[in-house]
Amino acid sequence: MGAAVVAGCTSPDDPGSSTQPGPGGDQPSEVDFAKQPELVWTAAITDIQPGERFLSPHRMAAMYEVADAYEVDGTVIAAVREGPSVRLVGLNGDDGALRWNVALELEIPDQPQPASDDPTLLVPVPQETTGITEVTCAAASLDGALPCVISVFDTEAQTRTASIHYFTLSEGDVVETVTADHADAVRVVDDTILTAGWAPEREDQDISGTITIARGTVADPAADWIREYPIAGICFGSGDGFTLGAFGGFVHFSSVSTVFVDADTGEPVVDGELSSISELSADRFIGTRCEPSQLSPQQSPDRIAIVGDGTGQLLHEHPGLHSWNEPRIRTASDAPYIASYSVFDTSTGEETWRLPAGDTSQVVAVTGETLIAFHDSVDERQTVGYDLHTGDERWRVRGDDFYQYEGADGTRVLGRGGADMNMVSAFDAASGEIVWSLEVPDGANLRIVSAGLLVATHEEIRYYAFD
């Protein structure tokens, strides 16, 4: 199997984000959908943890009972809910054999507490860990160990305590445990550790909450910097999901809102409050900024689509429009960008053509020279491929065949359809013709890896190889 890959998770008020929480990441750039993948192995939950179910190793997805699995350096990672606790499972990526099955018993390092009335005198005090255990793992390892945020939510006290545990991919042994109460998510970038999380408002604050982001090392996740970012709530989302990402020299975290900062310093890149941000090309980004409604404070906020360069300087602004955060797969760096239903020239920021407007139209991806959009009506969904530069319609297929976007390789597009969403098909991006189709279990979750597909249900995990 190839490099780790996982899909993104929800971003608040972002119509183009995936609606499925996950560890966060992008599909591998070398993926090729030319050949129909063949089943290589199946791992059944009955052989690993009888009576339980596979779940996502991401606490928000697991909360919604989403089955999922992803791969890190040849090990397939999944979670299993066991009452109020969670087990983390590692499978051999080559044959699906069980490598390890670990119960997540949270052992947070003792915290210094005042030993007397003198607050300067501190002694270690063991921490209580009763409640519901949750886990969110990174999509990459560092020195052979996978960092996971493990937390316990105390249902009585309504408090959450968290730490980062580092699991060896070979044995599942914990080689390091570090307190990180601020963290919902963890990400590995080169040899650094990024953590981030959101905390709701407190009675003494006139804000909607605080997002905290830190950059550091295995031993100290805040060694480089840690900063808090108050959220005013202008474009306040539900927080029903979160994603921690990095590209260029930037770090971003989305939950109730989006924070976009310089990776070296933690300084915010863009003034104002954001609802989304994503990489547009190697040296540009696109996002949506929120401002209070000019009509009434009770109205939804005004939105402005923004485009900036690798230094953080804004190049174009489009009031009243929003970005879709659609994935761009093997698309030229100077290719047009999309905001709402308009397509713009990257250099000038001028509109070149418009998509058919409609409340139920959605841009889902750009691959090669093709823009892919969903158009929903009362009767059905239709998926349409447009020429990215001219707006000419290249193809149109019914939602029965292509209802959900799964990925692309620049030449072909993976779509999910079928009466029970049990057919995965590769469509030619230029013509819309079906190259191949694969039947998968009803309701299965699909992940793309460099050499194939991981397909997960509550009962089993399958691996299909492209060659």
Region 45-52 average pLDDT: 95
Using CA atoms, how far apart are residues 29 and 7, in angstroms rounded to an integer? 13
Residue 400 CB partners (closer than 8 Å, separation 6+):
380, 417, 418, 419
Task: Convert the pLDDT of each residue in 224-238 to its tens digit.
Answer: 999 999 988 888 676
Q: Is 183 left (phi over 0), alpha (psi -120 to 50) or beta?
A: beta
More confident residue, 156 or 224: 224
Tell which residue, 287, 241, 291, 280, has the closest CA to residue 11: 241
Q: Which amino acid is at 315?
A: L
Q: pLDDT-based confidence at 467, cuts 50/70/90?
A: confident
User: In the prediction, which pLDDT does 131 show?
Assistant: 62
User: In the prediction, which pLDDT does 253 show?
Assistant: 96
More confident residue, 132 or 343: 343
* The pairing of beta strand 412-417 with beta strand 209-216: unpaired
Region 97-122 average pLDDT: 60
3-state class of 99 per DSSP?
strand
User: In the prediction, which pLDDT does 437 show?
Assistant: 96
Region 12-29 average pLDDT: 45
Residue 271 has pLDDT above 80, yes or no: yes
Region 16-42 average pLDDT: 70
Which of 175-184, 194-203, 333-342 has the lowest average pLDDT?
A: 194-203
Q: How far is CA 184 from the centre of its chain?
A: 12
Task: Answer whether 0.85 is exceeded by the pTM.
Answer: yes
What is the rounded (10 degree) CA torsion for 440, 444, 448, 451? -40
User: In the prediction, which pLDDT does 119 show?
Assistant: 42
Residue 128 has pLDDT above 50, yes or no: no
Residue 265 has pLDDT above 60, yes or no: yes
User: In the prediction, which pLDDT does 148 show?
Assistant: 97
* Highest averaged pLDDT of the listed ranges 1-10, 70-79, 101-110: 70-79
